[in-house]
Structure 1
Amino acid sequence: MNATRLAILGILIPAFLGGAFMYYNLVYAGYGELTQEEVGEIQLISIVTGEAEPMMLDNVKAIDTIEDGVRLSGAISFRVCFDAPQSLAMLSETYVIMDEPVPLTAPSWFECFDAQEIGKALEDGEAIAFMSEENISYGVDRVVAVLPDGRGFVWHQLNACGEAVFAGDNTPEDCPEPPEDF
């Protein structure tokens, strides 16, 4: 083997290993499955009272990047799949519907959460998304979507305040003041 081939291998092998390491970290490392107790109460905001009310959930599956109570990445890594015993009609008449929900993709191994399917159902008007909790962490809202067959999904997405802060723009006037450690 000549020096040129060794130099090429000296570049390609670490590049391949580095790429594999980054892929693993993005898709697998840090994510952990959560129990229903770890997920806690998923709430929806009542149209009548404006107060959050707990939602009944069955067959909960969830993931997040929290380990021993410490968040390993941003707040938008939270994903939940569940079955809703309530009808979509009852939910839509009782709770605040969210404007512009955008389901974020989950790791491919978390098969119950298909962001494309959820997004298409929301666009087609088959599914309905509800505001669960505003500013669960600064600039991030919790969203709940339910399909007509009773499958439900929860994710976190940036709100207008979060989008402005992360883009480096001035926040809209109605945004709360960002925390000092933000």
Structure 2
Amino acid sequence: MSGKILAMIVLVSAAIAGGALYYFQIYGYYYDVAAQPGRDVMLLPQDAEAPEPITYSEFRAIDADSSPIRYRACFETEAAPEALAATYMPAEAPEPLTAPGWFDCFDAVALADDLAAGRARAFIGQKNVHFGVDRIVAVTADGRGYAWNALNNCGRKTYDGTQVGEDCPPRPTAGQ
């Protein structure tokens, strides 16, 4: 009899822990990003250091403090991808990161298909939003826009343990 009770306690504990893990991974750490008109969607010009804002509307974004690459945003713009490509720095091999299912405006699979088919273009929005992380902004031909954070070369080297080169900015110390 005590073996059955012990087994039930273990199973119930495992179910509670699994449910909590699922909740925290999918919902728990995310928060809505407050819109900052004129500062939410920015692109890096080809010959400049500082990003510039582009016109946009219907901005929605989420982020989480638990990881620098959890940022996702959706917006609408009248700027054509071809016009943006003439002025702004393209993102090399952009890979949209998936968003939680409840953030339904950001479909990473459809966006990746649009990028591969040439129906969308991706640009560097801002370099080193966090150390080793760039903001990528993609715009589709029909005026939908998306933004996400992705590891840059310095970030990939830092997190895989490779020696970081001189072309990377200094890594911030704890507490900065």
TM-score, with length taken from structure 2: 0.92
Report what 1:13 is aligned to. 12
Contact 2:35–2:60 (8 Å) recurs in 1: yes
Query: Within 1, Cα distance between the matches of 2:7 and 2:93?
Result: 49
Query: Within 1, Cα distance between the matches of 2:66 and 2:45?
Result: 31
In structure 2, the CA distance between the partners of 1:25 and 1:178, relative to structure 1 (3 Å rule), is same
Q: CA deviation at 1:38?
A: 8.1
1:9-59, Cα deviation, whole Å (9 max, x unpaired): 111100000000010001111211223228933211223556421111110
Aligned Cα root-mean-square deviation (Å): 1.8
Contact 2:39–2:53 (8 Å) recurs in 1: no
Aligned residue for 1:76, secondary structure, equals coil
Query: Within 1, Cα distance between the matches of 2:39 and 2:86?
Result: 24
Q: How many residues align?
A: 175
**Which of 61, 71, 86 is the equivalent residue of 1:78?**
71
Alignment of 1:86-125 (within 5 A): 86-125=79-118
Once structures 1 and 2 are overlaid, which stretch shifts more, 43-52 or 126-135? 43-52
Aligned partner of 1:53: which letter?
Answer: E
- The answer for unaligned runs of 5 or more in structure 1 is 66-71
Report what 2:2 is aligned to. 3
Contact 1:58–1:85 (8 Å) recurs in 2: no
Aligned partner of 1:170: which letter?
Answer: Q
Report what 1:27 is aligned to. 26
Aligned partner of 1:165: which letter?
Answer: T
Query: Within 2, Cα distance between the matches of 1:107 and 1:43?
Result: 23
Query: Within 1, Cα distance between the matches of 2:120 and 2:88?
Result: 14
Query: Within 2, Cα distance between the matches of 1:48 and 1:36?
Result: 28
- The answer for unaligned runs of 5 or more in structure 2 is none
Query: Within 1, Cα distance between the matches of 2:147 and 2:21?
Result: 26
Query: Within 2, Cα distance between the matches of 1:39 and 1:115?
Result: 25
Query: Within 2, Cα distance between the matches of 1:40 and 1:77?
Result: 19
Once structures 1 and 2 are overlaid, which stretch shifts more, 165-174 or 53-62? 165-174
Percent identity reads 35
Query: Within 2, Cα distance between the matches of 1:47 and 1:39?
Result: 20
Report what 1:172 is aligned to. 165
